[in-house]
């Protein structure tokens, strides 16, 4: 997948190992790196959804329009779909096979 970031600081905290440990701690940084690598390796959202530990899911409420993957406990890596319009199936659900571009917008506990 093609991955962009909300801002440079967020990108650095995810892609730079030293900055990641400083921002999130050693354990979370390791999980964030793992999820990020899984996202990069996935051709589309459908492939990412097949990784059970990622627990890919769409969000609701204040975060409607965002998706998340699990990091640890309540910690999530949240992103939006960078498609205009978002590809939909006939039942109005997101066509995960057609989603190939995402923008990471948040890492943390939104619960």
End-to-end CA distance of the chain: 27
Q: What is the pTM of this model?
A: 0.95
- Rounded Cα distance between 5 and 63, Å, is 17
CATH number of 2-108: 3.30.2310.20
- Rounded Cα distance between 106 and 55, Å, is 16
Label residue 89 exposed, middle or buried (CB < 10 Å: 0-12, 13-18, 19+): exposed
Q: What is the pLDDT of residues 42-98, one digit of tens each?
A: 999 999 999 999 999 999 999 999 999 999 999 999 999 999 999 999 999 999 999
> Domain spans of the chain?
2-108
Q: What is the pLDDT of residues 59-72, one digit of tens each?
A: 999 999 999 999 99
Confidence of residue 34 (pLDDT cuts 50, 70, 90): very high
DSSP per-residue letters across the chain: -EEEESSHHHHHHHH-HHHHHHHH-HHHHHHHHHHHHHHHH-SSHHHHHT-GGG--EE--GGGTTEEEEE-STT-EEEEEE--SSPPB-TTSSB-GGG--EEEEEEEE---
């Amino acid at each position: 997948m093609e991955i962009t970031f909300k801002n440079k600081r967020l990108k650095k905290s995810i892609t730079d190992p030293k900055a990641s440990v400083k921002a999130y701690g050693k354990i979370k940084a390791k999980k964030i790196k793992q999820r990020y690598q899984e996202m990069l390796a996935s051709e589309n959202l459908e492939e990412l959804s097949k990784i059970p530990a990622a627990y890919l899911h769409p969000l609701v409420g204040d975060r409607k329009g965002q998706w998340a993957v699990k990091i640890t406990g309540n910690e999530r890596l949240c992103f939006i779909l960078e498609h205009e319009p978002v590809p939909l199936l006939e039942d109005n659900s997101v066509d995960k096979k057609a989603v190939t571009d995402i923008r990471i917008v948040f890492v943390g506990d939104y619960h």
